[in-house]
Amino acid sequence: MTKVTMTVNGKSVSAETEGRTLLSAFLREGLGLTGTHIGCDTSQCGACVVHVDGKAVKSCSVFAQDVAGASVKTIEGMANADGSLGVIQQAFQDHHGLQCGFCTPGMVMSAAALLAENSKPSEADVRHYLEGNICRCTGYHNIVKAVMAASGQDVSALAAE
Amino acid sequence: MHNFDFVKPASVADAVAALSTEGAQALGGGQTLIATMKQRLADPAVLVSLTGIADLQGVCMGDGGLHVGGATPHAVVAREAGKYYPALAHLAGGIGDPAVRNKGTIGGSLANNDPAACYPSAALASGATIVTNRRKIAADDYFQGMFSTALDEGEIITSVVFPIPEKASYVKFNQPASRFALTGVFVAKYAGGVRVAATGASNNGVFRWKAAEQALSANFAASAIAGLTVDDADMISDLHGTPAYRANLVKVLAGRAVSAAT
């Protein structure tokens, strides 16, 4: 076992790992941060997306020891300091961007990565960027709407179906 | 997956030393290898991560063209190669999805040589040089069939050098579930002639369509290949496409790539 230390949501954390311990397992089992979901475990679905040093990655396809020392942000780090929902989370609630909610953590993390690169994405930009995030409820229209709204754009003209 | 020892050296020399241990294997971004290990199709005793080696990172112009470090992620190539080689940047920006592009590396893609991966077509069509810790390998000698390359045990791709073409384009017919190329064609026009490489088509992996190269070297227009056909004898057959379908796609996509080349 090897002790791995990294910064998660602004706090320095450590846990014992094997070589094969995935970042997703380090977060969920090592730290109890179960907001990061495991959907497919084959890097297809995007439910496990977190940020490593500001970049979106699929935590099921990264070894914990490979990101020792990195700064990681998970869905648990997306709320405001007072515990209220962050802008993207609030937009998902306001625009019904989740149904069962399983894909939501990955959707929110990918959306945050998109908005960090492109603060006013078009609808096509959002759909393209979320290519690697699959919603099994197929609720994509409202997810896209929520991301557009989170970027401060008027979404009243976007189809709601 | 089975357990292994993980090491992350900071220099090529240390990586080479680590790879000389029994059962050691190199790890790039892991976007293929980790999934393969979960299926227990790969079972290394020691995994040597190459992404902590600063010398293997980045994109810059140098002798012979654009130098891309072996451990450079696709997202960096997509973002930084555009001003030197737009078709290459476009290809890198179409691999997988944003999260995969932040991890997956050019060296990993070329070392794995998946028959439907995008990068092998760019390397072959550009006549790129694959530079390793031991030697320089011409792309024409490097690709040796599906999942097979000229790399020896423990040999590391340190960089890939792409001569800059006058015009080039990559057109990929997406396989939307895997986000690999169902079939993809890279066309590159150099002063010495045109090169055309197809991926996602042949059972032998990436290949050059030489009849099209001849026709396009004489006349760089989609109409120049309209009368050609691609032999479907050794094309990939799966639930997504028959050999005849893929052979036809090679021609259609080559024509589109010629028309789109800039």
Mean pLDDT for A90-109 is 97
Instruction: Tell me the nearest-neighbour CA distance from B27 into chain A, angstroms.
Output: 10
Average pLDDT of the segment spanning B28-35? 96
Domains of chain A by residue range: 2-77, 87-150
Q: What is the pLDDT of residue A30?
A: 94
Q: Tell me the two tokens of residue B53.
A: 């080696």
- In A, what residues contact B, Cβ < 8 A? 2, 18-20, 22, 41-44, 46, 49, 52, 55-58, 61-63, 65-66, 68, 110, 113-114, 129, 131-133
Angstrom distance (rounded) from CA A60 to CA B135: 35
The whole-number pLDDT of residue B178 equals: 86
Give pLDDT tens digits for B103-160.
999 999 999 999 999 999 999 999 999 999 999 999 999 999 999 999 999 999 999 9
Class of domain B5-49: alpha beta
Examine the pLDDT at A159 and tell me if it is beyond 80.
no
Tell me the C-alpha distance between A35 and A25, whole Å. 12
Per the CB < 8 Å rule, is A66 touching B51?
Answer: yes
Residues A24 and B188: their CA atoms lie apart, in Å, by 41
Question: pLDDT-derived band of residue A7, with 50, 70 and 90 as boundaries?
Answer: very high
- CA distances from residue A109 to A78, A113, B46, B245, B257 in whole angstroms, order as listed: 8, 6, 32, 38, 35
d(CA B136, CA B233): 32
What residues of A are in contact with residue B96 (Cβ under 8 Å)? 132
Return the pLDDT at B176: 86
The verdict on a CB contact (< 8 Å) between B179 and A41 is no
Task: Give residue limits of the domains in chain B.
Answer: 5-49, 54-162, 167-260
Looking at the domain A2-77, which fold is it?
Answer: Ubiquitin-like (UB roll) (3.10.20)
Query: How high is the ipTM of this complex?
Result: 0.95
Using an 8 Å CB-CB cutoff, list chain A residues near B100. Answer: 43, 58, 132
To the nearest whole number, what is the mean pLDDT of chain B? 97
Architecture of domain B54-162: 2-Layer Sandwich (3.30)
Q: Domain spanning A87-150 has what CATH number? A: 1.10.150.120
The partner residues of B24 in beta bridges, in order of sequence, read B46
CA distances, B245 to each of B57, B58, B137, B183 (Å): 38, 38, 33, 10
Residue A66 backbone zone (phi > 0: left; psi -120 to 50: alpha; other: beta): alpha
Residue reference for tokens 């490097």: B142
Using a CB-CB cut-off of 8 Å, the residues of chain B touching A129 are 98
**A82 φψ region: left (φ > 0), alpha (ψ -120 to 50), beta (else):** alpha
Burial of B73 (0-12, 13-18, 19+ CB in 10 A): buried
Q: How confident is the model at residue A160 (pLDDT cuts 50, 70, 90)?
A: low
pLDDT band at A146 (very low <50, low <70, confident <90, very high): very high
Quick check: B99 contacting A, CB < 8 Å?
Answer: yes
pLDDT over 60 (residue A161) = no
CB A136 within 8 A of CB A107: no
**Which among B244, B81, B224, B258 has a CA at the least distance from the CA of B160?**
B81
Sheet of strand B46-49: strand arrangement: B5-7, B46-49, B24-27
User: Do A2-77 and A87-150 agree at the fold level?
Assistant: no
- Taking CB atoms and an 8 Å cutoff, what residues of chain B touch A110? 98-99
Looking at residue B177, its pLDDT comes to 85
CATH 3.30.390.50 given to domain B167-260: yes
